[in-house]
Amino acid sequence: MVGVKKLLAATAVLAAARDHEQIPLSSKPFLSSDYSCIHPPYKVHLVSRSPLVMYLEGFLTGGERSHLQNLPHGQFRDSAVAGAAGSSAFHSVRTSQSTTVPRDALVRCVEDRALALQGFDTPPEHLEPIQLVRYGPAQRYHYHTDWFTDAAAHATAAQGGNRVSSIFAYVRAARGSTGTGTGTGNSSLTGGGTNFPLLDVPLHDERWCRFVDCDDEYEHGVTFRPVEGNAIYWENLLPRDGSSGGGPARGDQRTLHAGLPVVSGEKIGMNIWTREAPLPPGVRGDQFNPFCHIPQSDSGTHAHTPIPWPQLMSHILFGTSQANSLHSSLHGNLQRNLEHTAAAAVAVVAEATRNETGIMARLNFMGVILNFLRSLPRPCLCPRRNDRVRDTAVAAFLGCILGALLVNIVIGVQAAREKKKKRTMGRVVGDLGGMGGFSAAGLGLGGFVPGMMGGDKSVGNTPVVGSQQTFGGMAHVQQGRQLQPLEDHLQQRQQVIEQQKHQQHQQQQPKQKQPLAPPPRNSTKQQLQQPRQQMQQLRQPQQRHTEPSLLQQRQQLLEEEEDQPLVRPRSHPEQQQSKASTHRGTRATSLPGTPRPLEAPRMAGLAARPATRRRP
């Protein structure tokens, strides 16, 4: 027993040291016990009623932003998108990097805010783990929807259904890398706006220009400028009107959007996605994992209240009364806190068999293993990457076997001295099996089994079922034939723009080439109205078209356009800044393969057209 106690003491020191290490420096202030969740008085501005889009001014506090900005760089991985048949894939449609955020007190505070925004009825289990996405120069996220277009693969009832809503918040919009920690504003970020091409909202008031690119063409929909701390909220699914026949809710195509390329500087955004139903156990990372579990207080705010492990271990080692008190002190959390329940059970059994020294030693050692596993740093047992879960689980398992061997050798030596060889050998074999099984069970609860079930469900930034990446809509890009609805929208939209530009081009032809009667006085209005009517048709939800088209074509056009930015006359210095801030030149008007219109008439046409959002 003396040896075991020494082992306990060593374990305590090791665990305490690791517990200390696990908190990154930048996170300390927010993870300390005196952190309290205070929601900022953010303002809500309605952008669109249908689809519901709201602009949230000041959604994140400065402290929250700097905490999120200072996450270790290594945690960001190349973003993946949902592939066909439920797989995920890395694709040029998303060149940014992303990571999920550990659910510390600060992150849970932001989660609570996101839930409160959506009413008080959405349980936290509907929230996907919060995702950060980081863009450097030239990085972008092409047009996509956040709702899963391939619902059968990503949005079954068992997977929590589809994404009801999205909140995209600007965590950082500044120059340089987050490593410098100088997230002081967005003065040096250019590009990186969030564009909703199918949003049909006339934002005429000048006050919008702080948040949207007022200099943008009407046909481009709405481009939100990346303003630190602000966020966009939108609803992804159409209201159920009976036409879905009790089937899955349909996604709203008007929520198509893109993260436009960053030209210079760095942008970090944050995705908070809410599902229709609770996510399966394990996806949120800390719900059914006894080693990672953080109980929820009665008030609904999350509180991390584990019993210090040395205290827990002393309960296990000494006597029933402590075990009982431990049991009662855990009463409120029993159902959610399997770890403590298991430890208490070990203590109770140990107490009941106190007279049997051998059994006592074994049970105690099991308690030690349990507590040792529990005392390991959370990134170790609740790692952010699934492969680390596996590695750690395997390593811990081997450690347990070794530990069991050691104890049994000690017991064996003692027993041999007492000349009870036969009995000892039986006990050694029994101990090995028992402890190995116990260790496996503990590890299973601790993350191994959740990691195996359904692939990757632990918190992490590797491909994980429906939670760790932006999957929405990107199955379109993977499989051409699935692209149809959104492609069609984009192609038709492109055609409308094309047509409009063509008309303008015609109008700009020298007079001698148009010897016929001058156009009626309202011709300009007609020109503008016709495409606008067409655009409005496009923006109707659920409109289906059958002509084939390619989303990539539009992306190629955008790239071409960025390579050759247009110089346009600007009337206001703020307009120039606004334009520069999102790097939105006029979009190309021709399909790939067709010659680009000549620059001069195109510019002349643009100059003649009062189609920007900003009104005089």
CB 164 within 8 A of CB 51: no
Binding positions for ligand AKG, 452-481, rule CB under 6 A: 470
Size of the site for ligand AKG (CB under 6 A): 10
Taking residues 89 to 128 in sequence order and writing x for each that binds ligand AKG by CB under 6 A, - otherwise, the string is: ----------------------------------------
Binding positions for ligand AKG, 131-170, rule CB under 6 A: 133, 141, 146, 168
User: Least CB distance from residue 104 to Fe ion, whole Å?
Assistant: 24
Q: Which is nearer to Fe ion, 134 or 302 (CB)?
A: 134
Q: Is 243 helix (H, G, I), strand (E, B) or coil?
A: coil
Q: Which is nearer to ligand AKG, 99 or 159 (CB)?
A: 99
User: Least CB distance from residue 175 to ligand AKG, whole Å?
Assistant: 17
Among the listed residues 104, 128, 146, 562, the single contact to Fe ion using CB under 5 A: 146
Q: Which is nearer to Fe ion, 146 or 252 (CB)?
A: 146
* Minimal CB distance residue for ligand AKG: 259
Q: Which residue has the tokens 């001069």?
A: 600
User: Least CB distance from residue 194 to Fe ion, whole Å?
Assistant: 8
Taking residues 413 to 442 in sequence order and writing x for each that binds Fe ion by CB under 5 A, - otherwise, the string is: ------------------------------
Q: Name residues whose C-beta falls within 8 Å of residue 428's C-beta, 6 or more positions apart in sequence.
A: 408, 411, 412
User: Least CB distance from residue 270 to ligand AKG, whole Å?
Assistant: 9
| 231-235 vs 163-174, strand pairing mode | antiparallel
At 156, list the tokens: 């079954």
Q: Which residue has the tokens 């805010």?
A: 113
Q: Which is nearer to ligand AKG, 259 or 282 (CB)?
A: 259
Q: Which is nearer to ligand AKG, 257 or 476 (CB)?
A: 257
CA 87 – CA 465 distance, rounded (Å): 9
Q: Is 214 helix (H, G, I), strand (E, B) or coil?
A: coil
User: Least CB distance from residue 168 to Fe ion, whole Å?
Assistant: 6
CB 175 within 8 A of CB 189: yes
259 binds, among ligand AKG, Fe ion, none (CB under 5 to 8 A by kind): ligand AKG
What DSSP character marks residue 302? B
Q: Which is nearer to Fe ion, 12 or 52 (CB)?
A: 52
The distance between the two most distant Cα atoms of the chain, rounded to a whole number of Å, is 120
Q: Which is nearer to ligand AKG, 269 or 450 (CB)?
A: 269
Q: Which is nearer to ligand AKG, 189 or 407 (CB)?
A: 189
CA 312 – CA 330 distance, rounded (Å): 11
235 binds, among Fe ion, ligand AKG, none (CB under 5 to 8 A by kind): none
Q: Which residue has the tokens 């195109």?
A: 602
CB 193 within 8 A of CB 139: no
**Among candidates 66, 378, 336, which has minimal Cα distance to 228?**
66
Among the listed residues 183, 197, 269, 442, the single contact to ligand AKG using CB under 6 A: 269
* Minimal CB distance residue for Fe ion: 146
Quick one: CA torsion of 345, 347, 349, 353, rounded to 10 degrees? 180
254 is a contact residue toward ligand AKG (CB under 6 A) = no
User: Least CB distance from residue 212 to Fe ion, whole Å?
Assistant: 17
186 is a contact residue toward ligand AKG (CB under 6 A) = no
User: Least CB distance from residue 128 to Fe ion, whole Å?
Assistant: 12
Q: Name residues whose C-beta falls within 8 Å of residue 263's C-beta, 6 or more positions apart in sequence.
A: 137, 138, 190, 191, 192, 583
CB 232 within 8 A of CB 295: no
Q: Which is nearer to ligand AKG, 208 or 448 (CB)?
A: 208
User: Least CB distance from residue 169 to ligand AKG, whole Å?
Assistant: 10
| 257-259 vs 141-144, strand pairing mode | antiparallel
User: Least CB distance from residue 98 to ligand AKG, whole Å?
Assistant: 7
| 231-235 vs 131-135, strand pairing mode | unpaired
At 105, list the tokens: 């007190």
User: Least CB distance from residue 170 to Fe ion, whole Å?
Assistant: 13
User: Least CB distance from residue 193 to ligand AKG, whole Å?
Assistant: 7
503 binds, among Fe ion, ligand AKG, none (CB under 5 to 8 A by kind): none
Which residues are bridge partners to 268 per DSSP?
134, 172
Among the listed residues 178, 194, 230, 503, the single contact to ligand AKG using CB under 6 A: 194
CA 207 – CA 67 distance, rounded (Å): 30
The secondary structure of 408-462, three-state, reads: HHHHHHHHHHCCCHHHHHHHHHHHHHHHHHHHHHHHHHHHHHHHHCCCCCCCCCC
Q: Which is nearer to ligand AKG, 101 or 292 (CB)?
A: 101
**Among candidates 262, 252, 255, which has minimal Cα distance to 47?**
255
Binding positions for ligand AKG, 337-366, rule CB under 6 A: none
- Phi/psi of residue 46, nearest 5 degrees: -75, 125
Among the listed residues 67, 250, 257, 385, the single contact to ligand AKG using CB under 6 A: 257
Q: Is 117 helix (H, G, I), strand (E, B) or coil?
A: helix
Give contact residues for ligand AKG (rule: CB under 6 A): 133, 141, 146, 168, 194, 257, 259, 269, 271, 470
Give contact residues for Fe ion (rule: CB under 5 A): 146
